Amino acid sequence: MNLTYLLLGLLVFASSRGSHARAIDDLDNSIEMVDEKPSSQAMLHTRSRLGQDWIRFIKTPPGKIMQTIGSPVEIVCEIMGSQIPTVQWVVGHLPLSEIDSIESNVISESSSSAIVKVRSVHVIDHMLSEPRTYTCVGRTGSKTVYASTIVYPQTDFKDLVQIREKPFRGPFRPRIVYSERMHLDLVGSNVVLPCKVHARPKAEVTWLNDEGNRIEQSHRIKLLPSGDLLITNIKWEDMGAYKCVARNGMGKDSNDVFLYPVQKEVEDQ
């Protein structure tokens, strides 16, 4: 048994513990619990799926949320899959056929050898005037998963009618709304670790290594204008935790992602 892929299997399942949804081949909203202690047979099954299209929820958003007067709402979902899954949010109740046909507006690097856990946060920065449905849609290749949340405004108050549906005024602290929690790919691949931020005023984004030191740019490592971190030709020594920190005058937010460069298997002679 190849030691690298054994470690890979263990890492994938460790990252999936606590999941409340299963891998879905087509549109499906059913839920089941995942084994807490994966068997060796399950690990072999995971390794056999490397390079294939697959996707699953790691964290589904709650079914219902009540909005507090004057406060933004944050809806979180986490998705794991191959070939760098994309996540987007759809507002309003749509039939499955329309969800399936929506074109993704998320730009992502593509890698057939990658396994990635993505975290997306949808921020509602205004008071709602009526209950509204928000759907987290994850895609990779031909596979799609989805989960919906209904956000309810508090009981109507006549004096609040005029401010509903208008964005909250004033500055607010940064919130990282699109990031990764784990990224596995083959040694030699180019990797983009995203860090999309919602803030007012605009936040400054920095990246730290697993020792807490600021990452300096080099010929292989670039901090992109978007705040994403580009690492080209990843090497085994690049393995470790990377922290994105977004900061403005109102506060800060941070996210940790673990990068795991996978050694290519050597064919038996």
Assign a CATH topology to domain 52-167.
Answer: Immunoglobulin-like (2.60.40)
Q: What is the pLDDT of residue 167?
A: 75
Q: What is the pLDDT of residue 98?
A: 53
Task: Record the pTM.
Answer: 0.76
Whether cis (ω within 30° of 0) applies to the bond prior to 201 is yes
Q: What is the pLDDT of residue 103?
A: 54
CA gap 78, 112 in Å, rounded: 20
Q: What is the pLDDT of residue 112?
A: 74
- Those residues with Cβ within 8 angstroms of residue 118's Cβ, 6 or more apart along the chain or in another chain: 78, 79, 80, 84, 85, 86, 87, 138, 178, 179, 180, 181
Q: What is the pLDDT of residue 48?
A: 44
CA gap 193, 222 in Å, rounded: 11
3-state secondary structure the chain: CCHHHHHHHHHHHHHHCCCCCCCCCCCCCCCCCCCCCCCHHHHHHHHHCCCCCCEEEEECCCCEEEECCCCCEEEEEEEEEECCCEEEEEECCCCHHHHHHCCCCCCCCCCCCCEEEEEEEEEECECCCCCEEEEEEEEECCEEEEEEEEEEECCCCHHHHHHCCCECCCCEEEEEEEEEEEEEEECCCCEEECEEEEEECCCEEEEECCCCCECCCCCCEEECCCCCEEECCCCHHHCEEEEEEEEECCEEEEEEEEEEEECCCCCCC
Q: What is the pLDDT along the chain (269 residues), one digit of tens a residue?
A: 344 443 444 444 444 443 333 222 333 332 232 333 333 343 334 444 555 789 999 999 999 999 988 888 999 999 999 888 989 999 886 655 555 555 544 444 566 788 999 999 999 988 888 899 999 999 888 889 999 999 998 765 555 555 567 777 888 899 999 999 999 999 999 999 999 999 999 999 999 998 999 998 999 999 999 999 999 999 999 999 999 999 999 999 999 999 999 987 654 44
Domain map of the chain by residue range?
A: 52-167, 169-268
Q: Same topology for domains 52-167 and 169-268, yes or no? A: yes
Q: What CATH class is the domain 169-268? A: mainly beta
